[in-house]
A and B are shown apart, each in its own frame.
Chain A
């Protein structure tokens, strides 16, 4: 079984401040982890993914995430928030089986000017 928990359904940061979106997962086998972003009235866009190898993963738009097995976490960070980062972010896990992805409930990021 696999599951994903995203802490905080809404996060507000000031423009230029650090963005930290939290994701913890549960998986009985080594997981593959993803972060997606969804802008209003659009589908999901992949930000980054962890499969194997380096635990610090860099993605698009300056985002990065670190896989910490001991903490079962995959938190998403960005050093400096931009207004265009305002969107909803989803953490997802795939483990075992076919392309069956379990998504977290999402975190809406608000960037305050």
Chain B
């Protein structure tokens, strides 16, 4: 099976712009989660989607949003970029369906490195 893919791998934007990142999960996986990784804050959970619905959300401002399509592919969008948004954005997919599947392994993509100038 192909792994989780994320596009683009690298992105440079300027303050105030917006950006859209894409994630294609492993075939058959319906749960997609997004994380922000920075040297200062570490790995922080952004949100999780399952069957086109956002099931869980971390503590990020409304500038961060996402969506999931019927084929489970997901996008996240950041509007009005700030310097502090520079980070590695990781996407993870799993075969988890419900609360009983918490143990299902998350498979991570290589990430998109966003630099905001």
Contacts and interface: CB of A to CB of B under 8 A. Distances in A.
- In which size bucket is the chain B interface? 20 to 34
A59 to B, nearest CB: 11
Given A99-B56, A99-B94, A49 B48 contact: no
B42 A106 contact: yes
B68 to A, nearest CB: 13
- In which size bucket is the chain A interface? 20 to 34
B33 interface: yes
Contacts of A51: 103
A99 B105 contact: no
Interface of B: 4, 31, 33, 35, 42-45, 48, 50, 55-56, 58, 90, 92, 94, 96, 99, 102-111
28 contacts: A32-B103, A36-B108, A42-B110, A42-B111, A43-B90, A43-B92, A43-B108, A43-B110, A44-B90, A44-B108, A45-B108, A90-B43, A94-B102, A94-B103, A97-B99, A98-B55, A98-B56, A99-B48, A99-B56, A99-B94, A99-B106, A100-B56, A100-B58, A101-B45, A101-B106, A103-B42, A103-B44, A106-B42
